[in-house]
Amino acid sequence: MRLGVLDVGSNTVHLLVVDAHPGARPLPAHSHKAELRLAELLDESGAIGPHGVDRLIHTILDALQAAEDKGCEEVLPFATSAVREATNADVVLARVKAETGVDLAVVTGAEEARLTFLAARRWFGWSAGRLLVLDIGGGSLEIAYGVDEEPDAAVSLPLGAGRLTAAMLPGDPPDPTHVKSLRRHVRTEIARTVGEFTRFGSPDHIVGTSKTFKQLARIAGAARSAEGLYVERYLSRSSLAEWVPKLAGMTAGQRAALPGVSAGRARQLLAGALVAEGAMDLFGAEELEICPWALREGVILRRLDHLPTS
């Protein structure tokens, strides 16, 4: 069957269309993406303003048309951190439902971590052993650890690259004092959760998902996306340590000129790098492997698991 998953994230609204069958690997058929950066559109009260909601509705309608054009039997719509934490989330969801017909499911932070973990587990398989999965989004950082398909521990922290950039990194390039303050904040927040994971023992394999990790790995020398999903890509802590001060001294325009960095994500890349470096350092990860699958694939896999087999 052809499924669409509509991901209303903190940075983008992304429709991923896949050809999927129970017991088989979902095959991507189409991708439709629009950058909204909802995490940066919140007003002082933490609400998504009328203009932001209008843009969201227009973008969802475009995605629904793309899903129809591509022959999707079903669209699985969900929203993450930016909508989840908006003070007017109920109003936003009601308007989306009334004007698009989409009943947007709000995924909790813990469920986001669990679904991303499921995707990583299915990608790497049982032979990967105990997995530690790190996922940096626009609004939050998800961390999950486990030996099965359901993690033993999963948390979501308000350390997304877009959120942190908007709140703590004014200036282009940012002032070094702001960078230092953000670094301290990130490490304090992550350190509070480390004990929840280390009591289970050391992971056998550490994984990074999300656009932020992919871009950091690319500027550190990993293979281009054009070389395919199945090329192994890694990011080392030593490479990050070299790149963080370089990124801190660059403007957004200079970062956008780096390999694999999109103009829309360039401003957020420094905050994402600080989160990645802090997480790897505090969890003792000298290197992690990039996983091509993340939350969207986790949603698809969970849906397939609940389909009848005959």
Residue given tokens 């650890």 in the structure block: 145
Q: What is the pLDDT of residues 155-178, one digit of tens each?
A: 999 999 999 998 999 999 999 999
Of 75, 79, 148, 138, which Cα lies nearest the Cα of 114? Answer: 148
Whats the size of the chain, residue-wise? 310
In terms of average pLDDT, the best of 26-35, 82-91, 173-182 is: 173-182
Beta-carbon-side half-sphere exposure of residue 52 (alpha carbons within 13 Å) = 24
Of 160, 161, 157, 136, which Cα lies nearest the Cα of 265? Answer: 161
Q: Could you give the CA distance from residue 218 to residue 237 in angstroms, rounded to a whole number? A: 14
Question: Which domains are seen in the chain, by residue range?
Answer: 2-106 (3.30.420.40), 109-295 (3.30.420.150)
pLDDT, mean over the chain: 94
pLDDT of 148 strictly over 90: yes
pLDDT value, residue 306: 83
pLDDT value, residue 41: 77
pLDDT of 12 strictly over 80: yes
Q: Model confidence at 309, in pLDDT bands (50, 70, 90)?
A: low
Q: What is the pLDDT of residues 218-266, one digit of tens each?
A: 999 999 988 988 999 999 999 999 999 999 999 999 999 999 999 989 9
pLDDT value, residue 276: 98
